[in-house]
A and B are shown apart, each in its own frame.
Chain A
Amino acid sequence: MKHYIESLLHSDDYQFLGLFVSDKTKEQGVFILRYLFYDIKNKKLNITEIDTRKEFPHIDIPALDWYEREIHDMFGLVPKGHPNLRPLMLFPENYPKDFHPLRKDANLNIEYRGYEEYRYENFEPEGSFKILVGPIHAGIIEPGHFRFTLNGEPILKLEIRHFYKHKGIEKLAEGKPVEFGLKLSERISGDHSLAHSLAFVKAVETIYGIDIPPKAVYVRAILLELERLTCNINDFAFIFQDVGYSFGAQKVFAIKEMLMRLNEALTGNRFNRGIIKVGGILKEIDLNIVKDGIKLLKKEYLKYKKLFLNSSTILERTDTTGKVSYETAKKYAALGYVAKASGLYFDTRKIMENKLYGPLIKEFSLKSGDVTARLKVRFNDIEESFDIIEEFISNIPEGNIYKNYEKKDGYSFGFEEGQRGNIIHMLEIENGLISRWKIRDPSFHNWPIIQEAVLGDIIADFPLINKSLNLSYSGNDL
C-alpha cells in the first residue's frame, strides 16, 4: 500500500489533494486514513484508504510532512519511521503530552499546560547569524514565525513555524447541525468566505444527493469569480506596494475597494457572506449592477497591468526573485497560482467542472516560477474572471434559485477552486449532525514551499516573495 501511494505521489498524472482521517473506533474499531488523489488522465478521484489502530506508514515526501505531523498531534496516530515528529499544531509549550483532541474519546476538560520547548532545527554554519521575525508582525497580518539563517544579506535557510492561533474549528463543529457548519465555513478565512462556504455546501449537497438548479449554479459561479477577482486585484496591489511603487498600489487598491462595494450592493455583504444556502442561494440578486460595474473595472485594471509590464524598475525587482522550480512544486504538491507559475497545472474548475466553464478557462501555466510568473498567472486569472462574469451574466438560465431537499447521512468531499487554489472540505454526517469535518486550504500545501522559494535570494526581498505567494494564515490555522 505504501509503495502504491508513493508511486501516485511521484506520478505526473496524479495530483495529490490531501490526507483525511476519520475516527471510526466506535463503529469499526479503527481510524480510516484517506489519501486523496486526482487522476488527471481519466478525470476521476482516486481515494486510497488505510485502516489503522495505532500506526500508519511514513512516506518520505515533503507534501506529506505536515499532514503526518498534524495527524500525530490530533489523533495520536504514529507515522512509522518519521524522522522529525515534532508537534505541528499543538505546541509543546501550551498542551500536555498525549493530548489528541480530534479523537472521539478525547477529554477536553484537562489542565492546559505545556511540557517542553519547541525544538527548532539546528542549523548554524560558520559565519552565519539568525534573524527571527514574528510571530507578532508590524502591520495588520496574522501570526507566523520566520527564522532566517543569513550570511550577510543572502538567505541560507528559512524555517517557518505556524499555527499560533489554532481555532479548533473542526472540533467545534462536531455534533453540530449543518447550518452551524455553513456559518462557520464562511469564517474560516476572511478573504475566501465564499469559496470555503461553497466547498462546504458542495460536500453537503453530495451527501444529500441534491442537484441544484442551473440558475443557482450560475449565480454561485459569478459570485465566486467576484471573490477571485477581489483577491487577485488585492494581491496585484500588494506587489506594487512591496516593490515600493506606491502610486500603482493606491490605484489598484481603489479597484479592489470598488469590487467590494459592488459585492455589498449585490448581496448586502462586502465578503458575500450569508448568500449561500444548502440547495442553492438564499435570495434573488440583481446582476445588472455587476454588468455595468465590471466593464469599468476591467478598463481600469488593464491600465495598471500595462503600467506594471512596461516598468523596467518594477520588473527588475520581480524577475528571477523567489524562484520555485517544477520539481519543488511537485514534491510539495503545490496548488493554485504557485503551482501554475512553475508549470504544474491544476485548476478545479478546468479539470473537475469543465462542463460548466468550457473554453472560458485556458490551461495557462508558466515555467519560470518567479514573482513575475506568479503575477502573470494572476493576470490570466483576472482576465478569465472578467470573461466568465460577462459570459455567465448574459447566459444566465431562468428558474428556481434553490431546491428543497431531504436530509441524509453519509460522507463526501466538496471541492472548490479558491483564488489560492483547490479547497477541499471532507464532511461526515451522522444522525443529521456533523461528526467529522476536515478543511484543507491550499495554503496547507503551499506554506512550506516558501522555505525553498527564498533560497538564493536576499533578505530584503523576502517580503516581496512572501506577498507573491500570499498564503493564508487563517485558512491554514483551523
Chain B
Amino acid sequence: MDKVIGVLQLVLFVAIAPATKGFIHKLKLNLRGQKGPSIIQPYKDIFKLLKKESIISQDASFISRIAPIIVLLALIVNVCFIPVFSPHTLLSFTGDVIAFIYVFGLSTFFMALYGMDQGSAFGGLGSAREMTIASLAEPTLMMIMFTFSLEYNTSNISEIFIRVHNSSFSVPIAYVFSLLALFFVSMAENARIPFDNPETHLELTMVHEAMILEASGKYLAIFELSSYIKLLLFISIASNIFLPFLYSSNILLNILFYILKVFLFSIPISIVELSIAKFRFFRIPDLLMISFTLAVLGFVLYYA
C-alpha cells in the first residue's frame, strides 16, 4: 500500500508541475493587466516540443545527449524523497536529507555541463553564472535542512515532515527565519526575479535560459519539464512545512488539499516578481548572503 501511495505521489507531482508554472505565469500577467495564456499552456508547450525535431550542435559531445536525461532523473529521484500529500515516500532512509541536496547538485552540475558542451558563447556564460549562484545557494539549503534535522532528531526527510506535523516547533522564530531563507533559495534556484528573469529574450542577461538556449525539440521539452519539477519541489517543501498534511483517510481529500496549498504558495512568487526589479548580477551574492544569514539565525536560535 505504501508503495502505491508513493507511486501515486510521484505521478501526481509530475502531473501538476507544469500547471504550477502556468498558474504563476498567468497570475503575473493578470496582475499587470494582461490576459495571458491559460494555465495549461505549459502542457501544450511540452507536447509541441516533443513533436519537433531536436538539433544538436556539431561541436557537442555525448554530454548533450545524456545531460537532459540526467537532469530530469536527478529531479525525479528528489521528488521520491519528498512527502507530497502523505509521508509514505518511495525513497526514505536515514541521512536522505544530505542525499537530497547532492542529487539536487547533480542536476545543477549536468545542466551547467550541457550549457558549456554546445560550444556557444552564451551557454558558457550561463553556466558560469549558474555555478556562482548554485554554490552560494547550496550552503543555505543545507543549513535549513540541518535546522529541521536537529529540531526533530532525525535526518530522514519523511520523519522530519511527520514530526513537524505532530508536534509544534519549539522555537517558532527559528522556523520563520528558516522559511524566509528557503524562499530566497527557491527564487535563486528556480531562476526567478531578482536573480534571473525567466521572461527575457536578452541572451546577455540570462542565467538559466542561456544554458538551454541551444536546446530544441525533445531535449528542450525535458529541460522545461525539469524546471517545472524543480519549482514545485521547493513549493512543496515550503508548503508542507508551513501547512501540515491533512490526516484524512480519504486520499482524494488529501490530494485536493495539497493542490490548494501549492497554488497558495505560488502566489508570493508572482507578487515578488512583480514588485522588484532584477538585481545587478554582482549584487546576487549579497542577496544570497542575506539568505544564508537568515538560515544561520534560524539554526542559532534553535540552540538559544
Residues of A within 8 A of B (CB): 129-133, 138-139, 152-153, 242-247, 250-251, 254, 311, 313-314, 316-317, 458-463
Task: Determine whether B282 belongs to the interface, using a CB cutoff of 8 Å to chain A.
Answer: yes
A132 to B203, CA, bound (A): 11
Of A314, A317, A463, the contact of B204 (CB 8 Å cutoff):
A463
In contact, A153 and B281 (Cβ under 8 angstroms): yes
Question: Can you list 29 contacts pairing A with B, beta carbon distance less than 8 Å?
Answer: A129-B121, A130-B121, A132-B121, A133-B203, A138-B201, A153-B282, A242-B202, A243-B278, A244-B193, A244-B277, A244-B278, A246-B32, A247-B32, A247-B275, A250-B32, A251-B32, A254-B33, A311-B277, A316-B280, A316-B283, A317-B277, A317-B280, A458-B280, A458-B282, A460-B205, A460-B281, A461-B281, A463-B202, A463-B205
Chain B's interface size range is 20 to 34
Within 8 A of A (CB), among B236-288: 273-283
A155 to chain B, nearest CB (A): 10
Q: Closest residue to A241 on the B side, CB-wise? A: B200
In contact, A131 and B121 (Cβ under 8 angstroms): yes
- Given known A-B contacts A131-B125, A458-B282, A244 and B33 have beta carbons under 8 A apart: no
In contact, B276 and A313 (Cβ under 8 angstroms): yes
A464 to B246, CA, bound (A): 48
Residues of B within 8 A of A (CB): 28, 31-34, 121-122, 125, 128-129, 193-194, 197, 199-205, 273-283
In contact, A313 and B277 (Cβ under 8 angstroms): yes
B152 to chain A, nearest CB (A): 37
Chain B residues within an 8 Å CB radius of A132: 121
- Given known A-B contacts A133-B204, A138-B203, A317 and B278 have beta carbons under 8 A apart: yes
A129 to B197, CA, bound (A): 25
In contact, A246 and B281 (Cβ under 8 angstroms): no
B173 to chain A, nearest CB (A): 27
Q: Closest residue to A318 on the B side, CB-wise? A: B277
B94 to chain A, nearest CB (A): 42
- Given known A-B contacts A138-B202, A460-B205, A463-B205, A250 and B33 have beta carbons under 8 A apart: yes
A372 to chain B, nearest CB (A): 13
Q: Closest residue to B195 on the A side, CB-wise? A: A244
In contact, A246 and B194 (Cβ under 8 angstroms): no
Chain B residues within an 8 Å CB radius of A311: 276-277
In contact, B33 and A251 (Cβ under 8 angstroms): yes
Identify the interface centre among A130, A313, A459: most chain B CB within 10 Å of its CB.
A313
Q: Closest residue to A153 on the B side, CB-wise? A: B281
A54 to B154, CA, bound (A): 88
Q: Closest residue to A459 on the B side, CB-wise? A: B204
- Given known A-B contacts A254-B33, A459-B204, A245 and B277 have beta carbons under 8 A apart: yes
A311 to B276, CA, bound (A): 8
A333 to B120, CA, bound (A): 37
Identify the interface centre among A153, A244, A247, A462: most chain B CB within 10 Å of its CB.
A244
In contact, A461 and B280 (Cβ under 8 angstroms): yes
- Given known A-B contacts A313-B277, A461-B280, A246 and B204 have beta carbons under 8 A apart: no
In contact, A313 and B28 (Cβ under 8 angstroms): no
For the A-B complex with A133-B204, A246-B273, A460-B204 known, give 19 more contacts whose Cβ atoms are closer than 8 Å.
Answer: A131-B121, A131-B122, A132-B121, A138-B203, A139-B201, A139-B202, A243-B278, A244-B194, A244-B278, A246-B28, A247-B31, A251-B32, A254-B33, A316-B280, A317-B278, A317-B279, A458-B281, A460-B129, A460-B280
Chain A residues within an 8 Å CB radius of B205: 242, 460-461, 463
B187 to chain A, nearest CB (A): 12
Q: Closest residue to B121 on the A side, CB-wise? A: A131
In contact, B199 and A246 (Cβ under 8 angstroms): yes
A181 to chain B, nearest CB (A): 37
In contact, A245 and B276 (Cβ under 8 angstroms): yes
In contact, B204 and A462 (Cβ under 8 angstroms): yes
Chain B residues within an 8 Å CB radius of A316: 277, 279-280, 283
Q: Closest residue to A130 on the B side, CB-wise? A: B121
Chain A residues within an 8 Å CB radius of B201: 138-139
Chain A residues within an 8 Å CB radius of B197: 244
Chain A residues within an 8 Å CB radius of B33: 250-251, 254
A460 to B279, CA, bound (A): 10
B74 to chain A, nearest CB (A): 27
A242 to B121, CA, bound (A): 21
A133 to B204, CA, bound (A): 9
In contact, A313 and B279 (Cβ under 8 angstroms): yes
Of B128, B129, B274, the contact of A247 (CB 8 Å cutoff):
B274
Chain A residues within an 8 Å CB radius of B204: 131, 133, 459-460, 462-463
A223 to B228, CA, bound (A): 49
Chain A residues within an 8 Å CB radius of B275: 247
A407 to B200, CA, bound (A): 53
B250 to chain A, nearest CB (A): 41
B142 to chain A, nearest CB (A): 27
Identify the interface centre among B34, B128, B278: most chain A CB within 10 Å of its CB.
B278
In contact, A314 and B277 (Cβ under 8 angstroms): yes
Chain B residues within an 8 Å CB radius of A461: 205, 280-281
A252 to chain B, nearest CB (A): 11
A138 to B194, CA, bound (A): 22
Chain A residues within an 8 Å CB radius of B34: 250
Q: Closest residue to B205 on the A side, CB-wise? A: A460
- Given known A-B contacts A131-B122, A251-B32, A243 and B202 have beta carbons under 8 A apart: no
Chain B residues within an 8 Å CB radius of A153: 281-282
A460 to B276, CA, bound (A): 18
